[in-house]
Amino acid sequence: MIAHLAIFLCTLTAMEGVGYLAHKYVMHGWGWFLHRSHHEKHLGALETNDVYLLALALVAVGLIAEGNAGHDPLQWIGAGVAAFGVIYIVIHDGIVHRHWPVRPRPRHPYLKRLYHAHLMHHAVKGRQNSVSFGFLYAPPVRRLKQQLRQMRRSGEGQIPNR
Ligand SMILES: [Zn+2]
Ligand SMILES: [Zn+2]
């Protein structure tokens, strides 16, 4: 049981790294055509970016099914992937972007930091020169602001004059 719990927690932690890399190099890379909808004005309840969430759900379900079919401990890895997806939906869609009818406000310092860091990610329009690609860990907002300023100074960023 302890080993299973450890596998679950390790997967959850590792998923933050996987998510960071996928967001930076896939979603802002060749997969931009799907992620782009998330960086534009929100029109409906769903966006093409949700395809990534669907892919994550399929991976989780597949792993859990394989584990239950006898390939222990794949179900615990699947549970870690699923937990990451659920936490991501609550924090990213619920608290940061407030896509829900009930709009929880970030009060805890950790949530506030995630909130501001992700707004920094959306401060840059377009695919390139963005900052803060993580979901559950965010660098201090001060550092992100510094990064944005550096990009603006070097003339590479496309930061709106707001
Ligand atoms: Zn993005
Ligand atoms: Zn976002």
pLDDT, tens digit, for every residue of 27-43?
Answer: 999 999 999 989 987 66
The pLDDT value given to residue 101: 82
**35 CA distance to ligand 2 middle (Å):** 10
Largest CA distance in the chain: 56
The pLDDT value given to residue 149: 86
User: Which runs of E-coded beta strand occur in the chain?
Assistant: none
* 90-107 tens-digit pLDDT: 999 888 888 778 877 889
pLDDT over 90 at 65, yes or no = yes
What DSSP character marks residue 135? Answer: S
> CB count, 10 Å around CB of 35?
20
The pLDDT value given to residue 156: 55
**70 CA distance to ligand 2 middle (Å):** 37
**72 CA distance to ligand 1 middle (Å):** 34
The answer to whether the CB of 129 falls within 8 A of the CB of 117 is no
Q: Which amino acid is at 95?
A: I
Q: Degrees (nearest 5) of the Cα angle 107, 110, 111?
A: 50
**133 CA distance to ligand 2 middle (Å):** 9
